[in-house]
Amino acid sequence: MQLSFYDLEDKDSIDNELLEKSCIKRKPRLVSLFSGCGGMDLGFKKAGYDIVYANDFDADAQKVYEKNIGDIDKRSILDVPVDEIPDCDILNAGFPCQPFSNAGNRKGVKDSRGNLYKECLRVIKEKQPKVIVFENVRGLLSIKDEKGNLLIDTIVKNLNEIGEGYNVNYKLINASDYGVPQNRIRVIVVAFRKDLEETFVFPPTKNKVGLSIGNIIDIPKEIPNQIDWEFSPQALSLIKLIPEGGSWKSIPYELLPDRLKRIRDNMKKYHAPNMYRRFARNEIAGTITASAQPENCGIIHPLEDRRFNVREIARIQTFPDDFAFFTDEKKSVQNMYKVIGNAVPPLLAEVIAKAIKKQLKNKFY
């Protein structure tokens, strides 16, 4: 059995020869902020990291995290003193993305949530972890801070000013390039403390064989959480007219509601939106969103006139089938779409986590 330094009460008694042979190594200690229901943390846990602290303010996410991963601090990060957060080797954070999202109002840092990344900086300044990982939507690259500078540039500058500074690398990636059966475009920021004398190199992309929807939604009946959030009657009347692989553009003009006729009449003005997308079984799924609305994501089942159910979207997000969600009442079902849509795909997190360990090798220990 492999032991951790933190599993041993009398560390002084460890045989020096064993230490020299590196027979006993501790896992890298991870602090997780804005943890959500645990997608990022699950990926890092699978990659061999020890989660020593997690925090999220959302009650629905907290329940799922506790059920599947472990303890989570339920306070707002604004109310958490830094000295109550353990020391760590690595800090990850998926600070709220809504202010930066194309689906949101894009108020950016003028929205109070847009400044919550500064809470990450507060913890980083005190703990100075070896590694920092941020995940966010693509809007992070275009939004500006209070002074008119690109926020991503400000974040890089802030990290360079903490302690000895950090070597920062960031990239706009598609999760499907790393084995996730979903075209999900996100910004990943990885920063290595400068004394490590390394800059993170993103792993090579993978082929997309086997990532189509048809390979995901054939789920045995005994797998739990196969319950869906019903469409409104108005939405359902449109969805019944959309074939597999189609969208609202497949609906005859005369059957469209007036608001969609106005868009169809001036596609240039409305940038030809691809609403009510029903992806085909041979396609890769679109982005799973927190709102799960057919007007802004491909949430429609390819063959049945319903949303993908909770387990189906969990699979598209690469949560394992034994990862439990709460769907015992109507409100709970809707909230599970929210927490799953907000999550980092665990498989994407695992790929990044393994790449970090491979590059740093023994510099964690």
The residues annotated as belonging to the active site are 97
SS3 169: strand
Strands (E), 138-238: 166-174, 185-193
Question: Rounded to whole angstroms, what are the CA distances from 351 to 45, 174, 185, 356?
Answer: 12, 13, 16, 9
Question: Which run of H or E residues covers position 137?
Answer: strand 131-137
In DSSP terms, which residues pair with 31 in a beta bridge?
Answer: 53, 91
Q: Which residues contact 241 (CB under 8 A, 6 or more apart)?
A: 250, 251, 252, 255
Q: Which residues contact 235 (CB under 8 A, 6 or more apart)?
A: 276, 294
Cα-Cα-Cα-Cα dihedral sign, residues 310, 351, 172, 176 = negative
Q: Letter for the amino acid at 183? A: N
In sequence order, which ranges of 270-345 are alpha helices (DSSP H)?
310-316, 330-342
In sequence order, which ranges of 6-99 are alpha helices (DSSP H)?
16-20, 39-46, 59-68
* Tokens of residue 226, six digits: 């196969």
Q: Among 76, 65, 58, which Cα is nearest to 290's? A: 58
